[in-house]
A and B are shown apart, each in its own frame.
Chain A
Amino acid sequence: MSTSASTVPATSRKILVLGATSGIAEATCRIWAKEGASLFLVARNSQKLAAVAADLKTRGAGYVDTSVADLDDTAQHPALLAHAINSLGGMDVAYLAHGILGDQAKAEQDFETAAQIIHTNFVSAVSLLTWLANFCVQRHAGVLAVISSVAGDRGRKSNYLYGSSKAALSAFLGGLRNRVDREGVTVLNIKPGPVRTGMTSHMPGAEKMADVNAVAKTIVKAIDAKADNLYVPFQWGPIMWVIQHIPERVFKKLNL
Chain B
Amino acid sequence: MPTSAAPTAAPERVTSDAITPPDGKVPFESWGRYPRYGGRIVPMHWQQDFPANIAGLHNGALPVGMGRSYGDSCLLKDGNLVLTTGMNRLLAFDPATGILTAEAGLTLAQILDFAVPRGFFLPVTPGTKYVTLGGAIANDIHGKNHHVAGTFGNHVTRFELVRSDGSRRVCSPTQDPDWFAATIGGLGLTGMITWAELKLRPIVTRMIDYEAIQFHGIDEFLALTEQYKNVEYTVSWIDCASTGKNFARGIFMLGDHARIPGDLSPSPEPKLVFPFEAPGFALNHTTVSMFNTLYFHKQLKPRVQTLVDYEPFFYPLDKVLHWNRLYGKDGLLQFQYAIPWESAREATIAILGEIAKSGLASFLAVLKAFGDVPSPGLLSFPQPGITLALDFAMKEGRTFPLFERLADMTRDYGGRLYPAKDAAMTASQFQTFYPQWEQLARFRDPVITSSFWERVTGDRPAL
Q: How far is the CB of A205 from chain B (nearest CB, A)?
A: 12
B43 touches A55 (CB 8 A): no
B86 at the interface (CB under 8 A from A): yes
Query: Roughly how many angstroms separate A201 CA and B45 CA in the complex, as a whole number?
Result: 10
From the candidates A47, A52, A58, A201, name the one contacting B92 in the complex (CB within 8 A): A58
A201 touches B90 (CB 8 A): no
A202 at the interface (CB under 8 A from B): yes
B47 at the interface (CB under 8 A from A): yes
Chain B residue at smallest Cβ distance from A204: B21
Residues of A within 8 A of B45 (CB): 23, 198, 201
Chain A residue at smallest Cβ distance from B21: A204
Whether A51 touches B86, Cβ cut-off 8 Å, given contacts A58-B91, A201-B43, is no
Query: Roughly how many angstroms separate A205 CA and B43 CA in the complex, as a whole number?
Result: 14
Whether A198 touches B114, Cβ cut-off 8 Å, given contacts A54-B91, A58-B91, is no
Whether A55 touches B89, Cβ cut-off 8 Å, given contacts A47-B47, A47-B48, A198-B43, is yes
B90 touches A55 (CB 8 A): yes
B93 at the interface (CB under 8 A from A): yes
B46 at the interface (CB under 8 A from A): yes
From the candidates B46, B48, B90, name the one contacting A58 in the complex (CB within 8 A): B90
Query: Roughly how many angstroms separate A221 CA and B154 CA in the complex, as a whole number?
Result: 42
A51 touches B114 (CB 8 A): no
In the complex, chain B residues 67-105 whose Cβ is within 8 Å of any chain A Cβ? 86, 89-93, 103
B46 touches A51 (CB 8 A): yes
B46 touches A48 (CB 8 A): yes
Chain A residue at smallest Cβ distance from B87: A51
From the candidates A23, A55, A201, name the one contacting B91 in the complex (CB within 8 A): A55
Residues of A within 8 A of B43 (CB): 198, 201-202
From the candidates B41, B47, B93, name the one contacting A51 in the complex (CB within 8 A): B47
In the complex, chain A residues 33-70 whose Cβ is within 8 Å of any chain B Cβ? 47-48, 51-52, 54-55, 58-59
Count residues of B near A (Cβ-Cβ below 8 Å). 14
Q: How far is the CB of B56 from chain A (nearest CB, A)?
A: 14
Query: Roughly how many angstroms separate A55 CA and B88 CA in the complex, as a whole number?
Result: 9
Chain A residue at smallest Cβ distance from B53: A202
Residues of A within 8 A of B41 (CB): 202
What 1/0 flags go to B36-62 for Cβ under 8 Å of A? 000001010111100000000000000
Chain A residue at smallest Cβ distance from B100: A58
Q: How far is the CB of A23 from chain B (nearest CB, A)?
A: 8
Query: Roughly how many angstroms separate A51 CA and B47 CA in the complex, as a whole number?
Result: 9
Whether A51 touches B103, Cβ cut-off 8 Å, given contacts A59-B114, A202-B43, is yes
Residues of B within 8 A of A198 (CB): 43, 45-46, 86
Query: Roughly how many angstroms separate A52 CA and B90 CA in the complex, as a whole number?
Result: 9
Chain A residue at smallest Cβ distance from B91: A54
Residues of A within 8 A of B89 (CB): 51-52, 54-55
Residues of A within 8 A of B47 (CB): 47, 51
Q: How far is the CB of A61 from chain B (nearest CB, A)?
A: 11
Chain B residue at smallest Cβ distance from A50: B91
Q: How far is the CB of B110 from chain A (nearest CB, A)?
A: 10
Q: How far is the CB of A256 from chain B (nearest CB, A)?
A: 24
Query: Roughly how many angstroms separate A160 CA and B47 CA in the complex, as a whole number?
Result: 33
A201 touches B86 (CB 8 A): yes
Query: Roughly how many angstroms separate A55 CA and B91 CA in the complex, as a whole number?
Result: 5
Residues of B within 8 A of A52 (CB): 89
Query: Roughly how many angstroms separate A54 CA and B101 CA in the complex, as a whole number?
Result: 10
Q: How far is the CB of B312 from chain A (nearest CB, A)?
A: 25
Query: Roughly how many angstroms separate A202 CA and B43 CA in the complex, as a whole number?
Result: 7
Query: Roughly how many angstroms separate A51 CA and B87 CA in the complex, as a whole number?
Result: 10
Residues of A within 8 A of B48 (CB): 47-48
Q: How far is the CB of B374 from chain A (nearest CB, A)?
A: 31
Whether A54 touches B86, Cβ cut-off 8 Å, given contacts A48-B46, A198-B45, is no
In the complex, chain A residues 1-55 whose Cβ is within 8 Å of any chain B Cβ? 23, 47-48, 51-52, 54-55
Q: How far is the CB of A44 from chain B (nearest CB, A)?
A: 13
What 1/0 flags go to B372-410 for Cβ under 8 Å of A? 000000000000000000000000000000000000000
A54 touches B46 (CB 8 A): no
Query: Roughly how many angstroms separate A52 CA and B48 CA in the complex, as a whole number?
Result: 13
Query: Roughly how many angstroms separate A23 CA and B46 CA in the complex, as a whole number?
Result: 11
In the complex, chain A residues 188-204 whose Cβ is within 8 Å of any chain B Cβ? 198, 201-202
Query: Roughly how many angstroms separate A66 CA and B93 CA in the complex, as a whole number?
Result: 20
Chain A residue at smallest Cβ distance from B27: A207
Residues of B within 8 A of A201 (CB): 43, 45, 86
Query: Roughly how many angstroms separate A54 CA and B45 CA in the complex, as a whole number?
Result: 15
Q: How far is the CB of A201 from chain B (nearest CB, A)?
A: 4
Chain B residue at smallest Cβ distance from A54: B91
In the complex, chain B residues 343-382 whose Cβ is within 8 Å of any chain A Cβ? none
Query: Roughly how many angstroms separate A36 CA and B178 CA in the complex, as a whole number?
Result: 41
Chain B residue at smallest Cβ distance from A51: B89
Q: How far is the CB of A230 from chain B (nearest CB, A)?
A: 23
Q: Could you say which of A48, A51, A198, A202 has the most chain B C-beta atoms within 10 Å of its C-beta? A: A51
Query: Roughly how many angstroms separate A21 CA and B300 CA in the complex, as a whole number?
Result: 55
Chain B residue at smallest Cβ distance from A48: B46
A47 touches B90 (CB 8 A): no
A59 touches B86 (CB 8 A): no
Q: Could you say which of B45, B93, B103 has the most chain A C-beta atoms within 10 Å of its C-beta? A: B45
Q: Could you say which of B46, B90, B91 has the most chain A C-beta atoms within 10 Å of its C-beta? A: B90
Chain B residue at smallest Cβ distance from A47: B48
Residues of B within 8 A of A58 (CB): 90-93, 114
Query: Roughly how many angstroms separate A128 CA and B135 CA in the complex, as a whole number?
Result: 42
Query: Roughly how many angstroms separate A122 CA and B92 CA in the complex, as a whole number?
Result: 36
Query: Roughly how many angstroms separate A48 CA and B89 CA in the complex, as a whole number?
Result: 11
Query: Roughly how many angstroms separate A55 CA and B93 CA in the complex, as a whole number?
Result: 10
Q: How far is the CB of A32 from chain B (nearest CB, A)?
A: 15
- 10 A-B pairs besides A48-B46, A51-B89, A51-B103 with CB distance below 8 A are A47-B46, A51-B91, A54-B89, A54-B90, A54-B91, A55-B89, A58-B90, A59-B114, A198-B43, A201-B43
- Leading 5 A-B pairs by shortest Cβ distance: A55-B89, A58-B90, A198-B45, A201-B43, A54-B91
For this complex, 10 residue pairs linking A to B, each with C-beta atoms less than 8 Å apart, are: A51-B46, A52-B89, A54-B89, A54-B90, A54-B92, A55-B90, A58-B92, A59-B90, A198-B43, A201-B43
Q: Which A positions have Cβ atoms within 8 angstroms of B? A: 23, 47-48, 51-52, 54-55, 58-59, 198, 201-202
